[in-house]
Structure 1
Amino acid sequence: MAARQRQTYGEEVANVLTHGAGMLFGMTAIIVLMMAAIRSGNPWAIGSFAVYAVCMTLSYVTSTFYHASTHARQKRLLRRFDHGAIYLHIAGTYTPFTLLALRQEGYWGWSLFAVIWIAAVIGVWLSFRKMRKKDHLKTVCYLAMGWVVIIAFKPLLHVFRETGSMNVLYWLIGGGLFYTVGCLFFFLDKYKYMHPVWHFFVLGGSICHFISIYLLV
């Protein structure tokens, strides 16, 4: 995604390289996570891992193609796909935690799952609406979706303490911090090469969340 109307050629090359790496990482994650889920024999793990890995990879694919495009009309369309895919990335990341860690914690799992996916569907729909460009507002929405997990922090903490898997929570929080700190560079996008720096933080957040999800089984 981009906050400025135009970025320099060098910036776009850096954007493509950073999220191109994310695209390759996502493809690798699909294989690794599906192998782990299948070994576990847990159908909830298989389904939720698949949703997460596909949504994450889709986000990087759309971002890479958007930044690589040089055709104005095509770039505008890809921009909408890019922004919409971010909502799916966020909801996909929630899916393993809601369906594996929180599903047995009363209403928490399914309630959070429903809320986050309804928000994602609305976000995707809005991404394809003709609205004035307000990328900073969209970024705030992404952050709000990402950190709504705080309302379920107590049951998550209970689950991870009971199962002796606090490292899952540490990696989850670490990923959230990567995304949040990275947004500071996104807001500084008027300065050259801040957007690729933001991409590095996004990739760091994805790696942390991948590790956290991998450790769920």
Structure 2
Amino acid sequence: MQTSIILVESPSAQRWAPETLNQWTHGFGAILSVIGAGVMLSTVLPTGDAWRIAGCAIYVASLVALYVASTLSHSFECGPRRDFYRMLDQVCIFLLVVGTYTPFGMVHHRENGWWMLLVAMWLLATMGIVERVRRGTQGTPFRTFVMLGWLPIIGFGRIHEVCQGPGLALVVAGGLSYLGGLWFLCNDVRRPYYHAAWHLSTIAGSTCHFLFLLEYVARVPAA
């Protein structure tokens, strides 16, 4: 059976209109993530700080990968390609969750044993990725992503110490955007456009966290 791209050979325009919107929303997110990657790397590279550069590079790579994988997962009507990209999409969610914390952890959480939090998150993400690949077409329970995503709250005190009011607001707003969007994701079988609402929530959440990392990790504070 030949796999077709939705925008080219949709069997029913009415049926696939929501899926096309899903494709466009995260396609827009992919464009934003590529632009953001350029902004962040151009900001962090002049610092010459290897920790900052490595952390930010890991983050933007995971950000771009997530939005590209998600766009592709909504670009095929059915068949093994769609299943593969759906699996890749969820793998990239693990990578983005831990990748978002990585720059902060590498720069501000290296002392007094806090580095173990970053190691633990990468181990858990790796375990989640392996399990997701083994599950084949079965998805990953949402609670797995939620637990991993909120694990950095253990280091909330250090986050508050580094960024104070505005930065802390960005962190919390981003987390709540993701968390609130999960309602649409969990109920996307009820309304055809709920999944697109989930996509917009992820764009809002990742934008907040991008701005936080750009200001409090990529840039070296003025002396």
TM superposition score normalised by structure 1: 0.88
Say what the alpha-carbon RMSD is for the aligned residues: 1.7
**Contact 2:87-2:139 at 8 Å conserved across structures:** no
Quote the Cα distance in structure 2 between the aligned partners of 1:68 and 1:113.
34
Q: How far apart in 2 are the matches of 1:122 and 1:69? A: 28
The separation in 2 between residues aligned to 1:103 and 1:19, in whole angstroms, is 34
Equivalent residues in 2 for 1:105-184 (5 A)?
106-108=112-114, 110-130=115-135, 133-135=138-140, 137=141, 139-161=142-164, 166-184=165-183
Contact (CA 8 Å) 1:27, 1:57: kept in 2 or not? yes
Question: Which blocks of at least 5 consecutive residues in structure 2 are unaligned?
Answer: 1-13
Q: Give the drift of 1:71.
A: 4.1
Give 1:102 shift.
1.8
Q: Report the Cα distance in structure 1 between the residues aligned to 2:45 and 2:151, rounded to whole angstroms.
A: 30
For 1:94, the equivalent position in structure 2 comes to 101
User: In 2, Cα distance between the equivalents of 1:148 and 1:81?
Assistant: 23
Pairing of 1:1-217 with structure 2 (within 5 A): 8-104=15-111, 106-108=112-114, 110-130=115-135, 133-135=138-140, 137=141, 139-161=142-164, 166-191=165-190, 192-216=192-216, 217=219
By how many angstroms is 1:8 displaced?
3.7
Larger Cα-atom Rg: 2
TM-score normalised by length of structure 2: 0.86
Matched positions, count: 203
C-alpha contact (below 8 Å) 2:87/2:137 kept by paired residues: no
| Separation in structure 2 between the aligned mates of residue 71 and residue 179 of structure 1, nearest angstrom | 27
Letter in 2 for 1:15: N
Give the superposition deviation at 1:201.
Answer: 0.1
Counterpart AA for 1:43: A
Deviates more, 1:70-79 or 1:140-149: 70-79
5+ residue gaps, structure 1, are 1-6
